């Protein structure tokens, strides 16, 4: 009975302190980084443009928030979608005092909402810079951007708040920012189980895709070694590698290779730019076990004389080739 009570308490604690990833989107210069700093109670007097990606962790009430502050430069926008699968919700920021780019912002927002990785994930739209003259309010911007139509078209949950991110931090922060953030987190926590499942599944797909890309890179390095391997076999092998990561954490060895999971043969393949990589023993060069492993005919048989054998041994033993920072 006592153990049962402890489990209930632990479950409640786990529910109270949930981790939520949010991404901030918007063109450059609209105040995304200032919004994050205001929420984090950080210094907002000196904010530099975000070149690419900035990460900020904030404990807010009972939620651990990880903010992905993505740069708004046109070149950076092309990689926004790489982060969509990892987030639970979106904060879209625009300059309410700039009435010349309403249509551009609408097209950008429509592109964001149309991404399947963001479907059914809530979106908070912040109209920043209300401290400046000519700033549109919530009703005006909703009409001009046709937000009702976008919400209906993509079955999206959207809330609009007009704010001034430079107003202050802590007790001086614009209340509209916190009101919008509270709404966003409430929508996320209402559907937290489903969103978490989607995020985890997306991360698994990403890992498998990365492994498949790595195998393609190995194919380029080793010449014809993988030509006879079908796409289905590559995918299965990639899944095998990903599942291996769940069983045992990898360990960097001298900055050149990774230690495979424990139930695989104790071998590593070092960083190399040769067309015929060779298997090296995991243990020290002078150890007896290393010398026995290096002479193991079952593992090293034919690697140097016939590159096609490499493919067979990889699929048979699950050996992991690793070429860090290799450039074609």
**In this structure, are residues 125 and 92 in contact, taking their beta carbons and an 8 Å threshold?**
yes
> Is 115 part of any known ligand binding site?
no
Q: Give the pLDDT score at 228.
A: 55
> Is 27 part of any known ligand binding site?
yes
**In this structure, are residues 296 and 324 in contact, taking their beta carbons and an 8 Å threshold?**
no
> Is 131 part of any known ligand binding site?
yes
Domain ranges of the chain: 11-190, 196-317
Q: Give the pLDDT score at 211.
A: 82
Three-state SS string over the chain comes to CHHHHHHHHHHHHHHHCEEEEEEEECCCCCCHHHHHHHHCCCCCCCCCCCCCEEEEEEEECCEEEEEEEECCCHHHHCCHHHHHHHCCEEEEEEECCCHHHHHHHHHHHHHHHCCHHHCCCCEEEEEECCCCCCCCCHHHHHHHHCHHHHHHHCCCCEEEEECCHHHCCHHHCCHHHHHHHHHHHHHHHHCHHHHHHHHHHHHHHHHHHHHHHHHHHHHHHHCCCCCCCCHHHHHHHHHHHHHHHHHCCCEEECCCEEECCCCCCCEEECCCCCCCCCCEECCCCCCHHHHHHHCCHHHHCCCCCCHHHHHHHHHHHCCCECCCCCCC
> Is 290 part of any known ligand binding site?
no
> Is 32 part of any known ligand binding site?
yes
Distances (CA, A) of 235 to 230, 317, 321: 9, 16, 16
Nearest to 66 by CA among 41, 38, 88, 81: 88
> Is 130 part of any known ligand binding site?
yes
pTM: 0.64
Spatial separation of the C-alpha atoms in residues 227 and 328, rounded to whole Å: 18
The correct CATH number of 11-190 out of 3.40.50.300, 3.50.50.60, 3.40.50.2000, 3.30.70.3450 is: 3.40.50.300
| pLDDT tens for each residue of 152-190 | 999 999 999 999 999 999 889 999 999 999 999 999 999
> Is 251 part of any known ligand binding site?
no
Q: Give the pLDDT score at 202.
A: 86
| pLDDT tens for each residue of 294-323 | 445 444 444 444 545 544 444 444 444 433
> Is 29 part of any known ligand binding site?
yes
**In this structure, are residues 89 and 123 in contact, taking their beta carbons and an 8 Å threshold?**
yes
> Is 166 part of any known ligand binding site?
no
Burial label, 11 (beta-carbon count in 10 A; 0-12, 13-18, 19+):
exposed
> Is 31 part of any known ligand binding site?
yes
> Is 33 part of any known ligand binding site?
yes
Q: What is the pLDDT along the chain (328 residues), one digit of tens a residue?
A: 444 444 444 445 455 679 999 999 999 999 999 999 999 999 888 788 777 788 999 999 999 999 999 998 888 898 999 899 999 999 999 999 998 889 999 999 999 999 999 999 999 999 999 999 889 999 999 999 999 999 999 999 999 999 999 999 988 999 999 999 999 999 999 999 999 999 999 888 888 888 888 878 877 776 655 555 566 666 666 666 555 544 444 444 444 444 444 444 444 444 443 344 444 443 334 444 444 444 454 444 444 445 455 444 444 444 444 333 333 3
> Is 30 part of any known ligand binding site?
yes
**In this structure, are residues 34 and 56 in contact, taking their beta carbons and an 8 Å threshold?**
no
């Amino acid at each position: 009975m006592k153990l049962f009570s402890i489990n209930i308490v632990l479950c409640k604690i786990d529910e109270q302190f949930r981790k939520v990833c949010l991404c901030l989107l918007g063109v450059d210069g609209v105040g995304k980084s200032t919004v994050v700093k205001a929420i984090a109670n950080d210094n907002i007097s000196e904010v530099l443009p975000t070149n690419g990606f900035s990460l900020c962790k904030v404990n807010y009430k009972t939620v651990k928030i990880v903010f992905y502050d993505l740069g708004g430069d046109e070149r950076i926008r092309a990689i926004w979608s790489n982060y969509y699968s990892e987030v639970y919700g979106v904060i879209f920021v625009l300059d309410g005092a700039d009435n010349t780019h309403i249509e551009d912002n609408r097209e950008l927002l429509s592109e964001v909402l149309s991404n399947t990785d963001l479907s059914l994930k809530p979106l908070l739209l912040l109209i920043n810079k209300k401290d400046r003259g000519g700033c549109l309010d919530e009703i005006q911007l909703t009409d001009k951007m046709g937000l009702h139509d976008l919400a209906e078209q993509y079955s999206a949950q959207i809330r609009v708040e007009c704010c001034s991110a430079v107003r202050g931090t802590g007790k001086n922060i614009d209340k509209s920012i916190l009101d919008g953030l509270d709404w966003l987190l409430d929508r996320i926590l209402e559907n937290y189980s489903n969103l978490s499942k989607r995020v985890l599944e997306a991360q698994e797909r990403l890992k498998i895709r990365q492994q498949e890309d790595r195998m393609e890179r190995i194919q380029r390095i080793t010449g014809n070694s993988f030509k006879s391997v079908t796409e289905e076999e590559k995918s299965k092998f990639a899944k095998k590698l990903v599942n291996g990561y769940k069983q045992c954490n990898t360990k960097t060895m001298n900055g050149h290779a990774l230690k495979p999971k424990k139930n695989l043969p104790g071998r590593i393949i070092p960083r190399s730019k040769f067309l015929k990589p060779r298997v090296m023993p995991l243990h020290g060069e002078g150890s007896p076990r290393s010398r026995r492993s290096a002479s193991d005919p079952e593992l090293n048989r034919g690697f140097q004389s016939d590159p096609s054998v490499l493919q067979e041994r990889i699929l048979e033993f699950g050996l992991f080739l690793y070429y860090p920072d290799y450039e074609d």
